[in-house]
Amino acid sequence: MSPQRNRRRSVLLSAAAVACAAATITVASATPASAATGVLILRHSDPAGNITYLANPAPGCYSVRDGYNVADNRLNTYVLAYRSTFCNGSAIRIEPGTAPSLWQTAYSVQVPS
């Protein structure tokens, strides 16, 4: 390879490395500091039921249109499961590292702040 071609290749590789580093920084900073870490998996016990994944969710109420009755909490915090759509009424607390079957179908989940 000629020296000019080697230099061009080196510049391209350096540019690619800078772009990858910038993408990594962007992804790492996309999660708010107050967000829970991990994933919450909400599913219906019916094998044909939909599965909802909440990865590193920010604090707040999340509605689950089709409902769920199994909450696999792989977050670093507890969550609250509600039978209502907007996190109203009675709730069940689901601790980190647990995956309980719920009393009835739930339609929203609260991630604490």
Cβ burial, residue 94 (10 Å; 0-12/13-18/19+): buried
pTM for this structure? 0.69
Residue 44 tokens, joined: 């219906």
Q: What is the pLDDT along the chain (113 residues), one digit of tens a residue?
A: 555 555 544 443 444 444 444 433 333 335 456 889 999 999 998 888 889 999 999 999 999 999 999 999 999 999 999 999 999 999 999 999 999 999 899 999 999 99
Contact 30, 19 (CB under 8 A): no
Q: Which CATH architecture has domain 38-111?
A: Sandwich (2.60)
Q: Domain boundaries in the chain?
A: 1-30, 38-111
Angle (CA) 102 67 51, round 5° = 95
Candidates 109, 42, 28, 34; CA nearest to 76 is: 34
